[in-house]
Amino acid sequence: MLSTALSKTPQHVVGRGLTLSIVAAFLTPQIMPASAGADEASSRVRSTNPVILDLLKEARDRSATFRTLVEAIDHSNGIVYVEFGYCAFGHLDGCLLPIIASTHGDRYVRVIVSPEKSRLNHDQLLALIGHELRHALEVLEHPEVVDDPTMENMYRSIGTPIAGQRGFETSAARSSGTAVLTELLRNTRAPQYLEAAARPFAD
């Protein structure tokens, strides 16, 4: 199930967002391949996990919809971190966490996706990341969203509540996830991605 959940941990997320941005600045030169383009190295869609960075690159290469989502975020004032973790105590496979530290005009959003390969196959995981990036873009397209309450207000107007969870779903995110998965199924995996996928998710 591809879903968005909201939780009441804004302080925690703000702190992590700022910390992660510093860590990533040191890690980036080591984990980006020498052939990486400048736009990739400076993308506003980031991760502290090299495995996820490989997934982001693969998804951009194989899916035009995914590439469009990343480019839209790159042209926003947002910075999106994609990390492995658990949403709603494992009830959801992915979520967009509030919020959002507004520092120097940047807004930070964190996407969490499940690390459990038993729940999603490889392409489903990439599609889930695309789905959650659409949610991130929903936030970044609304400049009034700067904290947990304003984010919830925005989703009350554009989303529908998820039954049994404190969170919302949108048709736009569902459509993006479906489009990404369709494109991935058309563009099978190139050999260079198979080695990356064999690595464990853990840091």
Name the site residues for Zn ion (rule: CB under 5 A).
3-4, 169, 173
Report the residue number, 13 or 133, with the smaller CB distance to Zn ion.
Answer: 133
Here the tokens at position 119 are 């729940």
Longest CA pairwise span in the chain (Å): 46
The tokens for 195 are: 């080695």
Smallest distance, Zn ion to C-beta of residue 56, A: 18
Q: Closer to Zn ion by CB, 28 or 86: give it.
A: 86
Provide, rounded to whole angstroms, the least separation between the CB of residue 163 and Zn ion.
13
* CB-closest chain residue to Zn ion: 4
Cβ proximity to Zn ion: between 54 and 145 the closer is 145
C-beta closer to Zn ion: residue 152 or 169: 169
In the complex, the smallest distance separating the C-beta of residue 21 from Zn ion, rounded to whole angstroms, is 24
Nearer to Zn ion, 2 or 79 (CB): 2
Work out how close the CB of 59 gets to Zn ion at its nearest, in angstroms, rounded to a whole number: 17
* Total H helices, total E strands in the chain: 8, 7
Q: How far is the CB of 106 from Zn ion (least distance, A)?
A: 23
Structural tokens at position 93: 């496979």
| Three-state SS annotation for 47-108 | CCCHHHHHHHHHHHHHCHHHHHHHHHHHCCCEEEEEEECCEHHHCECEEEECCCCEECCEEE
Helix (H) or strand (E) holding 175: helix 171-186
